[in-house]
Structure formats: C-alpha cells, structure tokens
Amino acid sequence: MGLIDGINKIFDHRVRLGIMSILLVNAHADFTTLKEMLDVTDGNLASHLKALEQAGYIEVEKRFINRRPNTRYQASTVGTAAFRKHLDALENILGKASGNTQK
C-alpha cells in the first residue's frame, strides 16, 4: 500500500476539508454559518456541499425559521468515518515523513 492510498479525493479541496472539519466539531451548521466561517461565495459553497451530499458524507435538513428558509448540514455516519480515515492517513504521512528526514 502506498503512502497516499488512504487519502480521500473528495477531501482534496480546501473548502470540502473546511466543511467537514466544521461539521465534525459541531453537531450541525447552517449555510450562512459555513459561508461566513469559510469566507466563500454562495455558489462556491453550494457546489462543494452538493458534492459532499452526493457522496453521502453530509445530511441536509431544510426548514423554516421565522418564515425564512434555513438549510442545516451535519456530517453523516459514513462521512464522519471517511473523514476520520482521511485524517488518519494524513497523520500517517506526516509521521512517516518526519521519520524519514535526516538532520
């Protein structure tokens, strides 16, 4: 098995990495919160959320608050497991890379 085999391509983009990081630390986050925390445009965020949803990594809840639409996201069980595996792979790479450096 190669050093980067555990890396999940879905999380290659920094916005998706940010979304999953936020959702792993928080039970859920709405669209506006994600947009503000990641400092991205509506369209950019929407496209990355859609990719994560299609992969089954996030769950979407649409509701109304004071008659205004509100979309809330949370990491799915599958998404949480995949993201943790991705983080483990990154830690493995860092561990092996630091073990192979010569001083």
Could you say which architecture CATH assigns to the domain 9-94? Orthogonal Bundle (1.10)
Per-domain residue ranges of the chain:
9-94
Q: Which residues of the chain have pLDDT under 70?
A: 1, 100-103
Q: Check residue 1 and give its pLDDT.
A: 62
pLDDT tens string 61-90: 999 989 999 999 999 999 999 999 999 999
- 79 class by beta-carbon count within 10 Å (0-12 exposed, 13-18 middle, 19+ buried): buried
| CA gyration radius, the chain | 16
Cβ–Cβ under 8 Å, residues 17 and 11 = yes
Record the pTM. Answer: 0.87
Q: Check residue 102 and give its pLDDT.
A: 47
Q: What is residue 27's three-state secondary structure?
A: coil
Q: Please give the Cα distance from 43 to 32 (Å, whole number).
A: 12
